[in-house]
């Protein structure tokens, strides 16, 4: 194998072989032909499997473990419904996410609304839905209570600097816009207790895409200490401790998957070491990425090749379809989705049609010679993929399909020109000559 030829492994039910990339044994090219490109293709099986793997790791370590899917990672209602079928609750960050989760059948008791700099309207929507509310800043508690009393209340705690999969994915430390110190939160808990609330939880979300189990041991110890302090300050034991998301997935060829069994042991040992008996409160995780990232490929067709060096391969997806590479320098594997090509490989930049120089999907990849019409697949595209897609350069957003052994189902149709102008009042036709 020449340098750069190693590829990130695709999980079941995806595979690579003589037919190119397949899902449940059928070439993904079939679905690209039927639904067009760019196309987000999600394998239902992998989403279910991810929930089961996570639950199997944690259930033996903590009897009251609960998974609240972070809807922001992929809010397609069909995906949220699938996760509900697997028993997930929902972590919501907006009024619309609350509505999608409710309509997917998630009961309010299994939902959390995490408010970062919320408007009164959003706090009101969360109160009306009756779910637990997680405040980013204890100073918000008075405003919240003026609007109404939440069923349960928690504060997002900032544990100070910790790990993160990339600088843009660090949510802790003094430079972070998120969370508050435990000291400030304790004042918020006491204030709410003095107004009659008795149902509390605690929350932290220090960073995203973390592949080291040891990090989660630190999260467990931090939450364990915080639980003790909250119980002492309020006189009531917290009902839940939410360890956030952050469970990482391998995007690059040499990254190893997060060891979920070790992660579960580290986190729960950390809690116990700080005096929290197993099951004393519910332990929650709110993963987004881990549940959906590797369930999805982004299929895209080559539109034009500009040989270099550097060798540019243009495709019909771009930063408007998958923003992560442009925003975080994120790596997504590039697979030739049709039949494999022999011949020399060239160092290639895969770029989109957007009028920005940052519109790059992949850099420095060794790919065979490609021609317009060839199909490529970008890997691990299910989390923060469609969710961060835009209509920039006035381009319709792509279609999404859900694939099972029975076939493919359109779960969001491709946008049309008319969709781009939704909400724009019809303007009078220009009269006369220009
Ligand atoms: N809970 C809260 C309060 C969060 O803010 C997030 C993610 C999650 C849970 C889910 O985290 P996960 O399990 O996915 O690490 N756009 C970035 C990711 C930003 C994550 C924002 N918050 C990306 O494309 O990597």
Supply the CATH number for residue 31's domain: 2.40.37.10
Cα of 58 vs centre of ligand 1, distance in Å, is 20
Residue 154 clears pLDDT 80, i.e. is over it: yes
Query: Residue 340: inside a domain, yes or no?
Result: yes
Tokens encoding 111:
């939902």
For residues 247 and 314, state if they share a domain: no
Mean pLDDT of the chain: 95
Cα of 275 vs centre of ligand 1, distance in Å, is 29
Domain, as residue range, for 146: 107-287
- The predicted pLDDT at position 171 comes to 84
Percent of the chain with pLDDT over 90: 88
Residue 1 clears pLDDT 60, i.e. is over it: no
pLDDT tens-digit readout, 75-131: 999 999 999 999 999 999 999 999 999 999 999 999 999 988 999 999 999 999 999
Please identify, among 287, 306, 330, the residue that sits at the C-terminal boundary of a domain: 287
Query: Residue 95: inside a domain, yes or no?
Result: no
For residues 142 and 230, state if they share a domain: yes
Q: Who contacts 414 (Cβ-Cβ below 8 Å, separation ≥6)? A: 35, 36, 396, 397, 398, 399
- The predicted pLDDT at position 212 comes to 96
Cα of 248 vs centre of ligand 1, distance in Å, is 10
- Per-residue pLDDT band for 4 (boundaries 50, 70, 90) equals low
- The predicted pLDDT at position 299 comes to 98
**Cβ 70 under 6 angstroms from ligand 1:** yes
Residue 427 clears pLDDT 60, i.e. is over it: yes
Tokens encoding 413:
């149709």
CATH number at residue 223: 3.20.20.10
pLDDT tens-digit readout, 155-195: 999 988 777 777 788 888 878 888 899 999 999 999 999 99
For residues 279 and 173, state if they share a domain: yes
Domains of the chain: total: 2
Cα of 211 vs centre of ligand 1, distance in Å, is 14
Percent of the chain with pLDDT over 70: 98
- The predicted pLDDT at position 177 comes to 84
**Cβ 170 under 6 angstroms from ligand 1:** no
Tokens encoding 78:
């069909």
- The predicted pLDDT at position 433 comes to 64
Query: Residue 434: inside a domain, yes or no?
Result: no
Residue 338 clears pLDDT 60, i.e. is over it: yes
- The predicted pLDDT at position 2 comes to 59
85: left (phi over 0), alpha (psi -120 to 50) or beta: alpha
**Cβ 91 under 6 angstroms from ligand 1:** yes
For residues 283 and 311, state if they share a domain: no
Pocket test for ligand 1, best of 156, 168, 244, 390 (most atoms within 8 A of CB): 244
Tell me how far CA of residue 22 lies from CA of 106, 157, 193, 212, in angstroms.
Answer: 33, 43, 56, 31
CA distance 217 to 238: 20
Supply the pTM of this predicted model: 0.97
Residue 429 clears pLDDT 80, i.e. is over it: no
For residues 301 and 246, state if they share a domain: no
**Cβ 293 under 6 angstroms from ligand 1:** no
Cα of 355 vs centre of ligand 1, distance in Å, is 28
For residues 203 and 270, state if they share a domain: yes
Closest CA to ligand 1's atom 15: 246
- The predicted pLDDT at position 340 comes to 84
Pocket test for ligand 1, best of 208, 209, 388 (most atoms within 8 A of CB): 208
Residue 276 clears pLDDT 80, i.e. is over it: yes
- The predicted pLDDT at position 275 comes to 86
Cα of 143 vs centre of ligand 1, distance in Å, is 26
| 3-state per-residue secondary structure call for the chain | CCCCCCCCCCCCCEEEECCEEEECCEEHHHHHHHHCCCEEEEEHHHHHHHHHHHHHHHCCCCCCEEEEEEHHHCCCHHHHHHHHHCCCEEEECCHHHHHHHHHCCCCHHHEEEEECCCCHHHHHHHHHHCCEEEECCHHHHHHHHHHCCCCCEEEEECCCCCCCCCHHHECCCCCCCCCECHHHHHHHHHHHHHCCCCCEEEEECCECCECCHHHHHHHHHHHHHHHHHHHHHHCCCCCEEECCCCECCCCCCCCCCCCHHHHHHHHHHHHHHCCCCCCCCEEEECCCHHHHHHHEEEEEEEEEEECCCCEEEEECCCCCCCCHHHHHCCCCCEEECCCCCCCCEEEEEEECCCCCCCCEEEEEEEEECCCCCCEEEECCCCCCCHHHCCCCCCCCCCEEEEEECCEEEEEECCCCHHHHCCCCCCCCCCCCCC
Identify which of 301, 383, 388 has the alpha carbon closest to the alpha carbon of residue 350.
Answer: 301
Residues annotated as catalytic (active site), given as ranges: 355
For residues 201 and 300, state if they share a domain: no
Identify which of 114, 25, 35, 70 has the alpha carbon closest to the alpha carbon of residue 316.
Answer: 35
- The predicted pLDDT at position 49 comes to 98
Residue 341 clears pLDDT 90, i.e. is over it: no
For residues 124 and 189, state if they share a domain: yes
- Per-residue pLDDT band for 210 (boundaries 50, 70, 90) equals very high
Q: Quick one: which atom of ligand 1 is closest to the CA of 287? A: 13
Pocket test for ligand 1, best of 205, 211, 293 (most atoms within 8 A of CB): 205
For residues 279 and 298, state if they share a domain: no
For residues 283 and 305, state if they share a domain: no
Residue 235 clears pLDDT 80, i.e. is over it: yes
- Per-residue pLDDT band for 3 (boundaries 50, 70, 90) equals low
For residues 269 and 327, state if they share a domain: no
For residues 268 and 308, state if they share a domain: no
Query: Residue 1: inside a domain, yes or no?
Result: no
pLDDT tens-digit readout, 57-75: 999 999 999 999 999 999 9
Closest CA to ligand 1's atom 23: 384
């Amino acid at each position: 194998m020449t340098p750069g030829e190693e590829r990130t492994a695709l999980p079941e039910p995806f595979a690579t072989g003589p037919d190119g990339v397949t899902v449940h044994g059928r070439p993904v090219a079939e679905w690209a032909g039927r639904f067009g490109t760019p196309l987000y293709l999600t394998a239902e099986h992998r989403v279910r499997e991810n929930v089961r793997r996570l639950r199997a790791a944690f259930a033996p370590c903590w009897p009251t473990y609960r998974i609240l899917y972070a809807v922001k990672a992929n809010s397609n209602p069909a995906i949220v419904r699938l996760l509900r079928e697997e028993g997930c609750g929902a972590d919501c960050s907006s009024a619309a996410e609350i509505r999608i989760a409710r309509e997917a059948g998630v009961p309010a008791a299994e939902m959390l609304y995490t408010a970062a700099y919320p408007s009164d309207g959003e706090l009101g929507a969360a109160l009306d839905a009756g779910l637990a509310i997680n405040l980013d800043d204890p100073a918000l508690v008075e405003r919240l209570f003026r609007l109404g009393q939440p069923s349960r209340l928690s504060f997002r705690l900032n544990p100070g600097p910790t790990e993160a999969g990339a600088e843009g994915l660090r949510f802790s430390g003094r430079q972070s816009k998120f969370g508050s110190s435990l000291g400030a939160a304790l004042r918020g808990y006491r204030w709410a207790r003095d107004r009659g609330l008795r149902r509390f939880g605690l929350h932290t979300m220090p960073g995203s895409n973390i592949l080291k189990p040891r990090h989660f041991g630190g999260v467990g110890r931090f939450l364990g200490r915080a639980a003790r302090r909250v119980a002492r300050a309020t006189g009531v034991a917290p009902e839940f401790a939410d360890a956030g998301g952050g469970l990482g997935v391998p995007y690059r060829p040499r990254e190893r998957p997060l060891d979920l069994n070790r992660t579960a042991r580290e986190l729960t040992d950390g809690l116990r070491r700080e005096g929290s008996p197993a099951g004393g409160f519910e332990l929650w995780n709110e993963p987004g990425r881990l549940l959906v990232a590797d369930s999805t490929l982004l299929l895209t067709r080559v539109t034009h090749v500009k040989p270099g060096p550097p060798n540019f391969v243009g495709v019909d997806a771009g930063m408007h379809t998958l923003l992560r590479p442009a925003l975080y320098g994120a790596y997504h594997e590039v697979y030739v989705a049709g039949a494999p090509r022999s011949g020399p490989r060239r160092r290639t930049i895969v770029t989109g049609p957007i009028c920005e120089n940052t519109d790059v999907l992949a850099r420095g990849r060794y790919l065979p010679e490609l021609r317009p019409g060839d199909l490529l697949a970008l890997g691990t595209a299910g989390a923060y993929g469609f969710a961060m897609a835009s209509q920039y350069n006035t381009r319709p957003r792509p279609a999404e399909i859900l694939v099972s052994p029975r076939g493919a189902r359109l779960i969001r149709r491709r946008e049309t020109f008319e969709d781009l102008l939704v909400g724009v009042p019809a303007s009078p036709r220009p009269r006369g000559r220009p």
